[in-house]
């Protein structure tokens, strides 16, 4: 029996974990990576090194694959359209992926669908930012480059016209948004297949610091059933309206007056779904692989009442391996996932997951392990 080959463009940790999910399915994996040291390139057997921005490289890579998917949104849309026109199965397709690539297009499309979002508009210069602020409740204002940002990069919170000058130096359009007075951030993760089957994971709470996700709790504590259902239904509607194949993460603000507003979209496995590797019947990565191959989707339900995932960020302690002894001995139920990356301050190098029936206990154990691996604590 010949099993299909999934081609993953991008060699980061998302590709690494997707490969892990493909192994028990018998699905073969091909990787387009920048360097042999990329996180996924260290573990995938079939690796092609090349520039994802070069169409001929993409063509050669796609020739050995049954379907193409991504661990980032940065492949030029026109290249993906060219591949698709040549008969390559690209999932999600370029007409969907463009709304994750360009925040301006994303906001316009969500507006057309009547999806609740923060007040926003494209701005031309710092003076236009001042005008945008005056149209609402004033400064501070959030500015985002429409393309290229991630993990807090390409996002500024500005308090006056002088501070508003920096984002325009990138030379790409700038989107202004109101700074939402939110209670917390949520994420609704869904997966959709080409024939329209879709599943929704429990809505999670995510805690961000400096634009980087630090902690995810599944399901979101004290979230009403009605609001959770609204968030899941909204994510499923967006996935259907945009004709997305694969995993969609809808990042949300929960406002103080009880609403949810869409912050960002990600059309790939996402940090908000890492908990599902250990905490769900079927992980986001396995369901993404199933979806792009149009296989029946797996059960997204959680295995335990609570699951907490905490990211391990690099600090001043480069040798994390020796911290394993303490973490594993202290907590045999702890799950550690490392990405094979060199440790650099603030860089995501892994995550830990704990699940169980007592939220306080689960959260403390996950936080302790991540802090010990970072070197923040020594006992």
341 is in an annotated binding site: no
User: Comparing C-alpha atoms, which of 10, 3, 1, 13 is closest to residue 285?
Assistant: 13
**Which tokens hold the place of 136?**
């609402």
The reply to whether 348 sits in an annotated binding site is: no
∠ CA(77), CA(124), CA(142), 5° rounding? 80
Distance (Å, rounded) from C-alpha 352 to C-alpha 366?
Answer: 6
Task: Tell me whether strands 46-49 and 182-192 are parallel, antiparallel or unpaired.
Answer: unpaired
Contact between 230 and 259 under an 8 Å Cβ cutoff? The reply is no
Q: Phi, psi (5° rounding) for residue 233?
A: -65, -40
Confirm whether residue 144 is marked as ligand binding: yes
177 marked among binding-site residues: yes
CA-CA-CA-CA torsion sign (109, 111, 113, 117): positive
Instruction: Report the distance separating Cα 296 and Cα 293, nearest Å.
Output: 9
Task: Tell me: is residue 264 an annotated ligand-binding position.
Answer: yes
Contact (Cβ atoms closer than 8 angstroms) between residue 120 and residue 262: no
Q: What is the CA radius of gyration of the chain?
A: 21
* Binding residue positions: 103, 144, 177-180, 185, 263-264
* Binding residue positions for ATP: 103, 144, 177-180, 185, 263-264
């Amino acid at each position: 029996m010949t099993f299909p080959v999934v081609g993953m463009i991008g060699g980061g940790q998302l590709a690494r974990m997707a490969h892990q999910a493909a192994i028990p399915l018998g699905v073969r994996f091909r990787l387009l990576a920048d360097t042999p040291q990329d996180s996924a390139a260290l573990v995938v057997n079939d690796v092609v090194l090349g520039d994802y921005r070069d169409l001929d490289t993409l063509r050669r890579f796609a020739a050995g694959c049954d379907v193409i998917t991504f661990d980032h949104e940065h492949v030029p849309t026109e290249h993906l359209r060219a591949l698709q026109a040549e008969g390559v199965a690209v999932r999600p397709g370029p007409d969907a992926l463009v709304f994750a690539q360009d925040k301006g297009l994303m906001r316009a499309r969500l507006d057309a669908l009547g999806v609740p979002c923060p007040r926003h508009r494209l701005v031309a210069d710092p003076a236009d930012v001042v005008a945008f602020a005056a149209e609402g409740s004033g400064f501070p204002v959030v500015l985002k480059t429409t393309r290229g940002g991630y993990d807090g990069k390409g996002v500024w919170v500005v308090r006056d016209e002088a501070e508003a000058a920096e984002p325009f130096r990138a030379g790409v359009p700038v989107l202004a948004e109101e700074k939402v007075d939110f209670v917390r951030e949520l994420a609704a993760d869904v997966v959709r297949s080409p024939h329209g089957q879709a599943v929704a994971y429990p809505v999670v709470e995510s805690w961000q610091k400096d634009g980087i996700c630090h902690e995810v709790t599944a399901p979101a504590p004290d979230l009403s059933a009605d609001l959770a259902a609204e968030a899941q239904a909204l994510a499923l509607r967006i996935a259907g309206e945009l004709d997305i194949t694969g995993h969609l993460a809808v990042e949300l603000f929960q406002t103080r007056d009880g609403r949810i507003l869409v912050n960002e979209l990600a059309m790939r496995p996402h940090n908000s779904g890492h908990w599902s590797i250990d905490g769900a019947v079927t992980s986001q990565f396995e369901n993404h692989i199933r979806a792009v191959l149009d296989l029946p989707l797996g059960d997204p339900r959680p295995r335990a009442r609570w699951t907490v995932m905490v990211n391990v960020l690099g600090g001043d302690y480069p040798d994390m391996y020796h911290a394993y002894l303490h973490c594993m001995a202290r907590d045999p139920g702890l799950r550690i996932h490392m990405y094979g990356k060199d440790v650099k301050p603030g860089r995501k190098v892994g995550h830990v997951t704990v699940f169980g029936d007592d939220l306080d206990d689960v959260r403390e154990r996950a936080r302790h392990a991540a802090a010990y691996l970072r070197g923040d604590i020594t006992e």
